[in-house]
């Protein structure tokens, strides 16, 4: 009998814009059958990732955007991967999917011999064997991608950083992220803000209630909230989120969640 291959998320880091003590910034390992996809590579992620696999087993890296809490360990990964290449433990470059902006930053990445930089192109899905990865642009300070991975009739969505506002639901990025998240089995979403913090101008992030509203609107089955400010009261965020979308979990470093 053929076993169903795992489709599973593991949280490697959950803080922003800097890590809490003994913790990490954004990084998530998505196992889909034979593939190991890393989503973002923030502070501390490369170290934690090695608890779960040998770096030679990575299939691809997906970057949402180039804020440091999502890419701080990218240069460390570069060195680690070039080391694997020099010892013959990997024979090909690591595919790195990234927005094409900021141009100077991504141009530098193209210089690294360990990386095969693949720029996201609007309207184009990514196919990796039997997985389909689609994406949309979020509402954030930098050009940021949200990703949807479909495998074995299940769907995982990761929002990256994003502002969400029910009042401006006709806003393209909000409509796009609802569409991208539609019916997802597992939605990994940022929930950076306590509700009161949204009064500060121009946050371009979601509160737990925003995240839950997105999950409800998109009729997702299970939501994991993450990307917490180290000062945030996580129990409060979870409580606020569950009032709108009951099937919500907190991201916990080292914990895995089935898609």
Query: Which residues form the interface with Zn ion (CB under 5 A)?
Result: 16, 67, 69, 161
Distance CA 49, CA 12 (A): 7
Nearer to Zn ion, 67 or 131 (CB): 67
Distance CA 113, CA 105 (A): 16
Q: How far is the CB of 25 from Zn ion (least distance, A)?
A: 7
Nearer to Zn ion, 150 or 161 (CB): 161
Nearer to Zn ion, 16 or 220 (CB): 16
Q: Are 203 and 197 a contacting pair, CB within 8 Å?
A: yes
Distance CA 167, CA 88 (A): 54
Q: Which helix (H) or strand (E) holds 229?
A: none
Nearer to Zn ion, 43 or 249 (CB): 43
Nearer to Zn ion, 27 or 114 (CB): 27
> CA angle at residue 40 from 110 to 72, to 5 degrees?
70
Distance CA 158, CA 179 (A): 13
Q: How far is the CB of 239 from Zn ion (least distance, A)?
A: 23
Q: How far is the CB of 206 from Zn ion (least distance, A)?
A: 11
Q: How far is the CB of 17 from Zn ion (least distance, A)?
A: 6
Q: Which two tokens stand for residue 115?
A: 């990386």
Q: Could you please report the per-residue DSSP string of 178-195? A: HHHHTT-SEEEEE--B-G
Nearer to Zn ion, 40 or 240 (CB): 40
Q: How far is the CB of 65 from Zn ion (least distance, A)?
A: 6
- Work out whether the CA dihedral 6, 227, 169, 212 comes out positive or negative: positive
Nearer to Zn ion, 78 or 205 (CB): 205
From the list 157, 161, 132, 180, the residue with the least C-alpha distance to 66 is: 161
Q: How far is the CB of 117 from Zn ion (least distance, A)?
A: 20
From the list 251, 230, 160, 252, the residue with the least C-alpha distance to 19 is: 230
Q: How far is the CB of 14 from Zn ion (least distance, A)?
A: 11
Q: Which two tokens stand for residue 184?
A: 């997802």
Q: Are 259 and 156 a contacting pair, CB within 8 Å?
A: yes
């Amino acid at each position: 009998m053929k076993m169903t291959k795992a489709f599973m998320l593991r949280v490697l880091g959950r803080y922003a814009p800097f890590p809490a003590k003994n913790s990490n910034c954004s990084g998530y390992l998505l196992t889909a059958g034979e593939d190991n996809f890393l989503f973002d590579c923030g502070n501390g992620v490369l170290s934690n990732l090695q608890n779960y696999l040998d770096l030679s087993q990575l299939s691809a890296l997906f970057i949402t955007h180039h804020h440091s809490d999502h890419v701080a360990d990218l240069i460390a990964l570069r060195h680690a991967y070039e080391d694997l290449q020099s010892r013959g433990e990997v024979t090909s470059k690591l595919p790195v999917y990234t927005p094409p902006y900021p141009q100077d930053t991504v141009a530098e990445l193209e210089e690294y011999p360990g990386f095969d930089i693949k720029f996201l192109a609007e309207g184009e899905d990514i196919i990796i064997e039997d997985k389909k990865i689609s994406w949309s642009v979020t509402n954030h300070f930098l050009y940021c991608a949200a990703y949807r991975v479909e495998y074995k009739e299940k769907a995982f969505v990761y929002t990256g950083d994003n502002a969400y506002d029910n009042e401006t639901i006709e806003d393209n990025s909000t409509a796009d992220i609802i569409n991208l998240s539609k019916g997802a089995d597992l939605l990994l979403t940022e929930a950076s803000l306590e509700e009161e913090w949204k009064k500060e101008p121009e946050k371009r992030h979601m509160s737990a209630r925003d995240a839950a509203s997105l999950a409800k609107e998109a009729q997702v089955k299970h939501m994991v909230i993450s990307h917490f400010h180290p000062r945030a009261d996580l129990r409060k965020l979870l409580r606020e989120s569950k009032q709108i979308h009951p099937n919500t979990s907190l991201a916990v470093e080292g914990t895995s969640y089935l898609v």
